[in-house]
Structure 1
Amino acid sequence: MQTRIRIAAIVIAAATSALGCSAQADQTTDKIKSALQSRLGIDASDIKGITKAQMPGLYEINLGTQLIYSDANGDYVLNGELIDTKAHRNLTEARLNEINKVDFAKLPFANAVKVVKGNGSRKMAVFSDPNCPYCHQLESTLKSIDNVTVYTFLYPVLSPDSTAKAKQIWCSTDRAKAWESWMVDRKAPTAAGTCDTAAIDSNLALGQKMNVTGTPTVILADGTRLPGAVSGDRLEKALSSAH
């Protein structure tokens, strides 16, 4: 009986300690969140989460597409990349990749323009605006990439003309040809753009949900994101490792 009482007391003490740690963590994150809101004007909805960073005494604030760091009181904020000098590893980049990882298989591919190069064995998706210069640059880079299937989600966010061109491309008889002709050869699409373009609205909603704030945004088969017009060498290497 004595032993049972002691075990019960230990279990209760451990549970109380855990609750205390949790409460303390909540108080700290609430304090940081309050300080960021009142002092920096950051909206509460923009703060996706606050956790301890890998550097002691530092807290990581997840703003969706960006990470910033704070002390436990929210008195000091660091806006930059956290580097592990021993491992030569960019901890900020690694965490952003982890946070923003996408379940590739669940993407609505029926809403994308599909282009198959070579055997198409490697897969990638791109959120792209027809008038984005970096998207044009990426399409030129893709000309030298073989054995890949590219799913382009038309994501017209730059201007009304972007929306008009996206609709024309989507309504073309051969969407892949219309897309490549415009993006690579600058041959404007000729379709009327009056077909059912609900897919484009769905892409815009999906991109906002996934925090796609810039074009182009590349998503690899393993769910990793590559923002911007990545170089051919980097893209080739990333496709091979994600395959």
Structure 2
Amino acid sequence: MKKRIRIAAFALALTTVTLGCTANADQSTDKLKATLQERLGDITIKSIAKSPISGLYEINLGTQILYSDVKGDYVVLGDIVDAKTRKNLTEARLADTNRIDFSSLPLANALKVVHGDGSRKVAVFSDPNCPYCKQLETTLKSVNNVTVYTFLYPVLSPDSTAKSKSIWCSTDRAKAWSAWMLDHQAPTAAGTCNTAAIDSNLALGRAMNVTGTPTVFLVDGRRLPGAVPADRLIKEIAAAR
């Protein structure tokens, strides 16, 4: 179901009730979950809750939110937007339900780069061959007073794995990472050291539904997928404090 069906008609009917206030389950949700699980096949449904729109239910797949009527006869793909505030409620809800415990991240398995006094923190899952990851690295240079923990997450190709291992085995890992991502200087280390951390990163990312790179995690547990523009990244980092 990759085709996105716009739901402008639903957006016009939005009220000011938030998703967080209407997420209580009722007896309908168990039946709806069973019906949709059968009809949608191998898609795993993480949770079902009422949406802000009467009669429309939120179907949380972990990496995506769909909507359905109470009988499961119709499924809507698209975002709900508050017409008054123009806030994307679907995006906000997905970010909230996918929060992580930042303090539980195994930071020893990440590269550490400090900008300014490093008083703020972000974690990034990144593939060395991902062009959007390189774009994000350029953006991060403009963010002051932040410590960036980069989890090598080679998911694009065997070469991504080879480069990740070489960077991890470099004498100065952060320098090797920055040299490649910002200056196109390929890492030269053999990549034969203990690289178990990279395997752990892959397992961790899968467990946290990291399906694309880059994925940024803020200290309040929210995630920002993709190469976030500098102005938004700075704003989100400040808000997470």
C-alpha displacement of 1:216 = 0.1
| Alpha-carbon displacement from aligned partner over 1:39-76 (angstroms, at most 9, x marks no partner) | 33343xx2111111121111111100100000011101
Q: Which letter maps to 1:188?
A: A
The question of whether the paired residues in 2 share the 8 Å contact of 1:129 and 1:157 is answered with yes
Distance in 2 (alpha carbons) for counterparts of 1:176 and 1:83: 40
Q: State yes or no: 1:80 paired with 2:78.
A: yes
Distance in 1 (alpha carbons) for counterparts of 2:107 and 2:99: 17
The question of whether the paired residues in 1 share the 8 Å contact of 2:37 and 2:45 is answered with no
Q: CA RMSD in A?
A: 1.5
Gaps of 5+ in 1: 1-23
Aligned residue for 2:164? 166
| Alpha-carbon displacement from aligned partner over 1:84-133 (angstroms, at most 9, x marks no partner) | 22343321111111101111111110000000011001110000000001
Aligned positions of 1:117-196 closer than 5 A: 117-196=115-194
Aligned residue for 1:33? 33
1:199–1:169: structure 2 CA closer, same or farther, 3 Å change rule? same
The question of whether the paired residues in 2 share the 8 Å contact of 1:129 and 1:156 is answered with yes
C-alpha displacement of 1:79 = 0.5
Distance in 1 (alpha carbons) for counterparts of 2:155 and 2:137: 18
State the TM-score, normalizing by the size of structure 1.
0.85
Aligned residue for 2:69? 71
Distance in 2 (alpha carbons) for counterparts of 1:143 and 1:89: 29
1:143–1:87: structure 2 CA closer, same or farther, 3 Å change rule? closer
State the TM-score, normalizing by the size of structure 2.
0.86
Q: Which letter maps to 2:36?
A: L
C-alpha displacement of 1:32 = 2.7
Larger Rg: 1
Q: Percent identity between the aligned chains?
A: 69
Q: State yes or no: 1:59 paired with 2:53.
A: no
Considering fraction of residues, name the structure with more helix.
Answer: 1
Runs of 4+ in 1 over 6 A off after TM superposition: none
Distance in 1 (alpha carbons) for counterparts of 2:160 and 2:144: 28
Aligned residue for 1:235? 233
Q: How many corresponding residue pairs?
A: 217
Partner of 1:199, secondary structure, is helix
Gaps of 5+ in 2: 1-24
The question of whether the paired residues in 2 share the 8 Å contact of 1:31 and 1:74 is answered with no
Distance in 2 (alpha carbons) for counterparts of 1:104 and 1:31: 34
Distance in 2 (alpha carbons) for counterparts of 1:92 and 1:210: 19
